[in-house]
Amino acid sequence: MKPIPEFSTDEELAAWVDTHDTAEYLDELEDVNTPFQVRLTRFATRLLDVRLRADLYAAIEEVAERRGIPYQMLVQRWLAEKVQQEAPDLAVPQ
C-alpha cells in the first residue's frame, strides 16, 4: 500500500484528491467528527415538457426509487452527465 503524500496547502491536497482514487488509502485515513455547514445553492430552473413512453417513464421511476432519490433529480443527473460527455465546454456544475 502506498502512503498518502504530504501536502503544503489544502489546495494541493484537493487537486491530488480530484485526480487520484483514494480507495487505495482508506486504511490510512482517520475518521473525523468535525461538524460543518452545508450551503445549498439554488439554480435557476425552467420547465421541460417531454413526452416519454409509459414503460420508459416507469423504468426511470423504478431506478430513482432504487437509488432513493426523486425521479426528476435522476433525470437531471443523467442529462448533465450526457452534456458533459457530448459537450464538456458547455457542462454545468451539479
Residue 43 lies in a domain: no
Residue 46 lies in a domain: no
Q: Which domain holds residue 22?
A: 1-30
Write the CB contacts of 3 (distance below 8 Å, at least 6 apart in sequence): 28
Residue 35 lies in a domain: no
Alpha carbon separation from 93 to 5, 74, 90 (Å, rounded)? 29, 15, 10
- Cell triple for 49: 415538457
- 10-27 pLDDT per residue, tens: 889 888 888 888 888 888
- 46-83 pLDDT per residue, tens: 899 999 999 999 999 999 999 999 999 999 999 999 99
Residue 48 lies in a domain: no
Whole-angstrom Cα distance, residue 78 to residue 84?
10
- Give the number of domains in the chain: 2
Residue 69 lies in a domain: yes
Query: Is residue 41's pLDDT more than 80?
Result: no
DSSP notation for 44-62: P---------HHHHHHHHH
pTM: 0.54
- Cell triple for 41: 445553492
